[in-house]
Structure 1
């Protein structure tokens, strides 16, 4: 394992090659299919939007298709991994990814569907305690979900939703300001809902501090971990987070539109006052096929299931999480991520130095405790042209209006040489543009 005491980076190819040679996780890149353009590999910096396909995924999916072909309906109860219980082996892989007890996690549905299902249980407005605190600039689906939930309960989103915004022209939030907002409205808050990592800025929030503050205020605390799961270490159980949900297709490489998963802290398992939208698959497993009226939930997070298990998407997720297990889960990956993203931060600043002005302004916090693998970079001039040129040069990040390029070096498959090459190409692109 690397020990990172200083960020002693160098802007040259020999340094980047040496870093790759010394990388204890370098073999993991070979587990993935890197897109090709002609004879060259794409420098793929978009794992924050859609992770690369593991090579093993095709075989795993074909295995499930073969089970369907050979066993048909009997596949639910026969074969090496009967579909009826398939989610259980996946739970064993999910729990260490988010710092949970196995019973606290369950793969199911898609992200916003799960957020709605969890809000049915955990957003319980009553009297003057009906408000929700969230970050301003949260991903739109979270905003839409909360707007519709508060309207469902008869409230106006303008009254019920408190958005915490950065102060003084800053682009990211201070933990102290989040806590102050919670404390200011403590007697009115029913729920605190934040993302783990903000999709636009790449800011990693202090989830432990937010959870503690929300609980002191008497509120339930949940997180959308779409950009955090598989990106940064999480300890949802120890932090006593009430609930969380995430998608699998970004940093966890579960495939486009891949299955989501939920976390419900075990302290809520015996709370019979919780509402839920029930379905057959959440019914107690050992008596499910009696087909009786009167919902009896399966213990744990499994009791929030509604429809039967999505076997093919679960198999894709399982294939990807097997690679995380091979890596030692999030600890070793986070070590590399800190170094890899730090190198990108350094290289971007080296480009600015060569240009003699701040062409690229990084809005993601410099503090490694406040960021994951993503850097959000404002191109102060010719933003769209620069992004287009990167794509032409086989460097694939993503674009956010009006002028933000998001680059996400994923420790599973990106390299230090790729980071160096991005810097070289950015400098060449900027030197080719009009000097206005």
Structure 2
């Protein structure tokens, strides 16, 4: 608990008055009477993202096919330009980042490129708490190579069902492992993985390593180049606020430039050669080589405005508020919900906590439905987690205070009892 914490609404208002990022709140479309705590699944629409999307629609309207080279935001280099804007968020050079594809497609691309089973090294190392889509992709890639995922996908066990210990991951890095794919932040508990340490240990053993940054990019600063991470991939619709199903991102360390992409396509090309229409691919000498098909322009366009705003706010400032407001959330929970069977299943230490808090309760699914009835949008994850994400750019401390007061009311009045304790279609 913060030393100066006070369990009052006035204290929350004071924190809002002192918040240097509070001005960005007015940039977002916030629905009156609703508190949005699900930015770790889908970030809200900002006015700047809307503006740049509309500008790209206007480019299409005015220029047709000439929009590739003309207009407010010409399309031909949009993926590279957005990569340059994203690079500071992940600690990379502009050439090492490209905006392309979706999370799982990008993972397939990277595994097909970097998974090269040879001799004893035929297995892929992951963890048992990672997001299911990553596991599906890794299983699929192993099958393509003729291996049984039951024996060749090694999943590090969790000791408590919440966290993964780095020591256990390192112990699993034996001479049968060809590739490692891990999350930057665990999607249930919000634990940050020690990427720097794990990368160093993997490389000491001659193993390539990559990370899924879906639950951290835009909320947590990264230093992929400095840490010598081989590759990373992520979505841009959570903390980067790029829109539902928005285009993802790829980082490829420059030491791998020149490597032929496992899944090649027209936009893998060197830009100068692309329209030569040759049947021999000359890949871009950058992360751009790992694009496949034509960029999804209208899904990338909102990122122009969103990244402009994030750059203006500063990723370090965003992280500072994220840590402060998640700590405040946990402090209020500790004080207000004591004795109500809630458990905070998220690391308390700043260095180990991402941008959301996993609040556990045996009636979690029912409580989430009650929260929605009370105008609060949470996120449920089976079997018993209420994920709450106070996003630095648009969540206020006052809202956090109100969310916990509502949780208290739901339990005291047993509002949740009217619902079944099972998830909705979209949890």
TM-score range, shorter chain: over 0.9
Q: Could you tell me which runs of 5 or more consecutive residues in structure 1 were left unpaired when the two chains were aligned.
A: none
Distance between the aligned counterparts of 2:80 and 2:100, measured in 1?
12
2:46 touches 2:306 (CA, 8 Å); kept in 1? yes
- 1:260: Cα distance to partner? 0.5
Secondary structure of the 2:337 match is helix
Distance between the aligned counterparts of 1:82 and 1:401, measured in 2?
43
Distance between the aligned counterparts of 2:80 and 2:349, measured in 1?
37
TM-score w.r.t. length of structure 2: 0.94
Q: Give the equivalent residue in structure 2 for 1:425.
A: 406
Match of 1:413 among 386, 394, 400: 394
1:243 touches 1:262 (CA, 8 Å); kept in 2? yes
- 1:6: Cα distance to partner? 4.7
Q: Give the equivalent residue in structure 2 for 1:392.
A: 373
- 1:202: Cα distance to partner? 1.3
Q: Give the equivalent residue in structure 2 for 1:379.
A: 361
Q: Give the equivalent residue in structure 1 for 2:98.
A: 106
Q: Give the equivalent residue in structure 2 for 1:245.
A: 233
- 1:204: Cα distance to partner? 1.0
Q: Give the equivalent residue in structure 1 for 2:140.
A: 148
- 1:7: Cα distance to partner? 4.4
Q: Could you tell me which runs of 5 or more consecutive residues in structure 2 were left unpaired when the two chains were aligned.
A: 418-427
Distance between the aligned counterparts of 1:258 and 1:92, measured in 2?
17
1:165 touches 1:173 (CA, 8 Å); kept in 2? yes
Deviations 1:169-200 (A, max 9, x none): 45212222222222xxx211101110111111
Q: Give the equivalent residue in structure 1 for 2:175.
A: 187
**276-285 or 253-262, which deviates more:** 276-285
Distance between the aligned counterparts of 1:75 and 1:270, measured in 2?
30
Q: Give the equivalent residue in structure 1 for 2:422.
A: none
Secondary structure of the 1:162 match is strand
Match of 2:350 among 368, 371, 391: 368
Q: Give the equivalent residue in structure 1 for 2:17.
A: 21
Write out aligned runs for 1:33-432 (5 A): 33-36=29-32, 40=33, 42-167=34-159, 169=160, 171-182=162-173, 186-271=174-259, 274-328=260-314, 330-353=315-338, 357-380=339-362, 382-432=363-413
**50-59 or 83-92, which deviates more:** 83-92
TM-score w.r.t. length of structure 1: 0.92
Secondary structure of the 1:47 match is coil
1:108 touches 1:261 (CA, 8 Å); kept in 2? yes
Secondary structure of the 2:359 match is strand
Root-mean-square deviation (CA, aligned residues, Å) is 1.7
Return closer, same or farther for 1:434/1:117 CA change in 2, 3 Å cut-off: closer
Secondary structure of the 1:24 match is coil
Distance between the aligned counterparts of 2:253 and 2:141, measured in 1?
22
Aligned pairs, how many? 417
- 1:77: Cα distance to partner? 1.8
Deviations 1:301-353 (A, max 9, x none): 0111111222111111121111101102x100111111000011111111233
- 1:361: Cα distance to partner? 0.6
